[in-house]
């Protein structure tokens, strides 16, 4: 990242430019006065945040009207353990009428759960109307300038979008001409015969591509359209959640790279390759473009698309058909999960940030047995639609003490810009929205990383703690019951395997480091067993075989969690799971 780090300040010239008042508070000091601390996040130098609103439910994407109303969509369902959404509709209208940086008007609207609604992710404004994803539909509300909650009934613009499989969300964007581009994420990880199972080959051809893993185009001005294979605009995009237009009208989309290279293909990929590969991508969307999924993935270390193991790939050497697919504009570390994108077209932020891309990374689960990562907002400098230098972490600290999908305090999920150029960041754990403004000196502004948050300073790089860098390193093994026919040592070893500290166990990635469950794996501590009777024998069988057809989750558990565990390892980790399930 050296090219985008601030150069050592040349003090005399800085003094000259800043003048006396600014010298008393150069931009770093201004940022320090922002009290970002109470917001739970750190930001690049010169930027300040307020908590705009909080505890709103599972807030996904946002959009801001020209008269400064922030609209957000919220979601519910399986992905959030079917928890109870806040009472009222799934759409939110928020406004700060006093200029305090906090919304004093917070209204819910649209159909609620009792009316059969489950909410959604996508939301956008076009031609004075508000468009929102709702279940399998995109609906639109006419809206008058000054109106906070649209008074009229919604019109259905598009219906019949699939809600099954690994990626049931439908973010979208609308261009100035009314083209509505909607993301249909893939139903599977890599179009395998047996989703996410070891050595399972890819369907050839991958017929899933007819209705999934691409971008479809509809007309925002037309009511009553029905989703079909016919309107596909671009293909091979596994899940393109974040859309952003630049000033020239180019449309960019983020791409969630596939999972489980090493867990499904251990002879071809090392554990660390499975952790780091493939890249998350920023793509420029082109009509008819094929971005490679499922035959190809982007290897950021080789800077090219290579053939996936499900389609004859040999661990990243052969390119094959991938030579003809579209590569990314910029690439990011594996499994960070880019949930939203904003190309900064405002003027409040200083020059180096203009026209660049902000990307909200929801955070990983598939970096086990290594520490999870992401859970931040990145800034990627751009110029004329191309990457112009390396990215920096712009906002950090969202996860708090635990970078773990089940325990993260907050997970970035949406980005939007207000008419004044303020940046809004949303979270889908508690439903917090931050409002970020620039308070530093524009003349000396540089693209620079946010300081490491206090809770994660060890993991962020400088001085490594002696016990290692894993989020749970140094954790004491609690006093747990020991199952009949097992030993205390087995439970202790199982604890370390579960947390990726021994034998590359992956369990905590999906079940959470506290084993209380995440969006991709269930709670193992509540004494409720879906598979078997909770006996050590039944648990051992589940761990050995995995769960190819989960009852309550879309993503499967591969045998042994995808790790190369010995029989002794399986016995130990099963004893540990028995122990944590029998503490109540
Ligand atoms: C890729 C994600 C993933 C990984 C990695 C993973 N699991 Fe699972 N696990 C799941 C899912 C999904 C289920 C099935 C839930 C369902 O059927 O609704 C499950 C189910 C289970 C169950 C059965 C729970 C019940 O209710 O009967 C046990 C026990 C279990 N996992 C233990 C482990 C252990 C031990 C490891 C590590 C060796 C592990 N899992 C790794 C996702 C995962």
Cα dihedral 341, 347, 349, 351 sign: positive
CB contact at 8 A, 233 and 175: no
Exposed/middle/buried for residue 477 (C-beta within 10 Å: 0-12, 13-18, 19+)? middle
Ligand 1 pocket mutation, candidates 78, 547, 555, 572, criterion most atoms within 8 A of CB: 547
Q: Is 460 in the pocket of ligand 1 (CB under 6 A)?
A: no
Q: 392-396 and 412-417 as β-strands: parallel, antiparallel, unpaired?
A: unpaired
3-class SS at 140?
Answer: strand
pLDDT at residue 360, rounded to an integer: 98
CB atoms within 10 A of CB 111: 18
CA 375 – CA 260 distance, rounded (Å):
20
CA 223 – CA 161 distance, rounded (Å):
15
- The secondary structure of 463-474, three-state, reads CCCCCCCCCCCC
Domains of the chain: 58-456 (2.120.10.30), 488-581 (1.10.760.10)
Q: Running DSSP on this structure, what letter comes out for residue 83?
A: P
Ligand 1 mean position to 111 CA, how many Å? 34
CA 448 – CA 439 distance, rounded (Å):
15
Give the number of residues written for the chain: 584
Question: Nearest C-alpha to atom 37 of ligand 1 is from which residue?
Answer: 507
Ligand 1 mean position to 512 CA, how many Å? 11
Count H helices, E strands: the chain?
Answer: 8, 30
Nearest ligand 1 atom to alpha carbon 509: 5
Quick check: pTM over 0.85? yes
Ligand 1 mean position to 524 CA, how many Å? 8
Q: Is 579 in the pocket of ligand 1 (CB under 6 A)?
A: no
3-class SS at 367?
Answer: coil
pLDDT at residue 534, rounded to an integer: 94
Q: Is 506 in the pocket of ligand 1 (CB under 6 A)?
A: yes
CA 100 – CA 9 distance, rounded (Å):
33
Ligand 1 mean position to 37 CA, how many Å? 37
CA 324 – CA 331 distance, rounded (Å):
18
Q: Is 550 in the pocket of ligand 1 (CB under 6 A)?
A: yes
Q: Is 542 in the pocket of ligand 1 (CB under 6 A)?
A: yes
Q: Is 198 in the pocket of ligand 1 (CB under 6 A)?
A: no
Q: What is the pLDDT along the chain (584 residues), one digit of tens a residue?
A: 333 333 333 333 333 333 333 333 344 444 445 766 678 899 999 999 999 999 999 999 999 999 999 999 999 998 898 899 999 999 999 999 999 999 999 999 999 999 999 999 999 999 999 999 999 999 999 999 999 999 999 999 999 999 999 999 999 999 999 999 999 999 999 999 999 999 999 999 999 999 999 999 999 999 999 999 999 999 999 999 999 999 999 999 999 999 999 999 999 999 999 999 999 999 999 999 999 999 999 999 999 999 999 999 999 999 999 999 999 999 999 999 999 999 999 999 999 999 999 999 999 999 999 999 999 999 999 999 999 999 999 999 999 999 999 899 999 999 999 999 999 999 999 999 999 999 999 999 999 999 998 754 333 333 344 444 455 555 666 689 999 989 999 999 999 999 999 999 999 999 999 999 988 899 999 999 999 999 999 999 999 999 999 998 888 999 999 999 999 999 999 999 999 999 86
DSSP per-residue letters across 150-199: --SPPEEEEE-----SS-----EEE-TT-EEEEEE--SSSS-BSSTT-TT
Give kind and range of the element (H or E) at residue 508: helix 507-511
Nearest ligand 1 atom to alpha carbon 259: 1
Ligand 1 pocket mutation, candidates 78, 497, 505, 510, criterion most atoms within 8 A of CB: 510
Ligand 1 mean position to 553 CA, how many Å? 10
């Amino acid at each position: 990242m050296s090219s985008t780090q601030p150069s050592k300040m040349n003090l005399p010239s800085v003094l000259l430019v800043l003048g006396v008042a600014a010298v008393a508070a150069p931009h770093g000091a201004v940022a320090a006065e922002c009290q970002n601390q109470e917001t739970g996040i750190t930001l690049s130098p010169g930027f300040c945040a307020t908590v705009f609103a909080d505890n709103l439910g599972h807030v996904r994407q946002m959009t801001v009207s020209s008269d400064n109303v922030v609209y957000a969509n919220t979601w519910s369902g399986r992905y959030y353990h079917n928890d109870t959404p806040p009472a009222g509709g799934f759409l939110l209208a928020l406004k700060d009428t006093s200029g305090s940086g906090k919304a004093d008007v917070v209204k819910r609207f649209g159909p609620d759960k009792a009316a059969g609604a489950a909410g959604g992710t996508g939301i956008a404004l076009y031609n004075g109307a508000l468009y929102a994803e709702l279940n399998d539909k995109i609906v639109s509300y006419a809206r008058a300038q000054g109106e906070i909650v649209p008074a009229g009934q919604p019109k259905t613009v598009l219906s019949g979008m699939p809600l099954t499989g690994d990626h049931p969300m439908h973010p979208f964007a609308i261009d100035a001409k009314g083209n509505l581009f909607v993301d249909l994420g893939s139903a599977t990880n890599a179009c395998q015969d047996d989703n996410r199972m070891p050595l399972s080959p890819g369907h050839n051809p991958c017929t899933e591509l007819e209705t999934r893993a691409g971008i479809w185009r509809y007309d925002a001005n037309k009511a009553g359209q029905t989703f079909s294979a016919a309107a596909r605009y671009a293909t091979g995009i596994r899940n393109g959640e974040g859309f952003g237009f630049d000033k020239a009208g180019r449309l960019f989309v983020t791409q969630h790279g596939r999972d489980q290279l090493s867990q499904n293909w251990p002879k071809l990929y090392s554990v660390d390759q499975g952790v780091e590969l493939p890249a998350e991508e920023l793509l420029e969307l082109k009509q008819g473009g094929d971005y490679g999924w499922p035959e190809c993935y982007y290897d950021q270390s080789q800077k090219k698309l290579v053939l996936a193991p499900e389609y004859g790939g040999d661990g990243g050497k052969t390119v094959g058909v991938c030579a003809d697919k579209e590569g990314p504009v910029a690439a990011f570390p594996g499994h960070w999960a880019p949930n939203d994108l904003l190309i900064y077209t405002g003027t409040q932020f200083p020059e180096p940030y203009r026209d660049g891309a902000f990307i909200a990374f929801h955070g990983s689960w598939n970096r086990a047995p290594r520490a999870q990562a992401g859970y931040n907002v990145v800034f990627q400098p751009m110029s004329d639609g191309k990457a112009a230098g390396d990215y920096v972490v712009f906002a950090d600290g969202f996860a708090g003490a635990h970078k773990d999908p089940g325990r993260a305090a907050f997970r970035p999920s949406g980005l939007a810009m207000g008419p004044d150029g303020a940046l809004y960041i949303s979270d889908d754990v508690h439903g917090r929205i931050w409002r970020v403004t620039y308070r530093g000196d524009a003349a000396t502004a540089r693209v620079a990383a946010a300081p490491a948050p206090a809770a994660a300073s060890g993991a962020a790089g400088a001085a490594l703690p002696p016990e290692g860098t894993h989020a749970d390193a140094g954790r004491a093994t609690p006093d747990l019951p020991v199952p009949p026919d097992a030993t205390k040592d087995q439970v202790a070893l199982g604890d370390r395997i579960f947390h990726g500290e021994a034998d590359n166990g992956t369990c905590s990635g999906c079940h959470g480091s506290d084993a209380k469950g995440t969006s991709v794996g269930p709670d193992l501590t509540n004494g409720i067993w879906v598979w078997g009777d909770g006996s050590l024998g039944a648990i051992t069988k589940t761990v050995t075989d995995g769960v190819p057809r989960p009852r309550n989750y879309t993503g499967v558990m591969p045998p042994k969690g995808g790790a190369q565990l010995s029989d002794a390892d399986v016995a130990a980790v099963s004893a540990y799971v028995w122990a944590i399930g029998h503490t109540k």
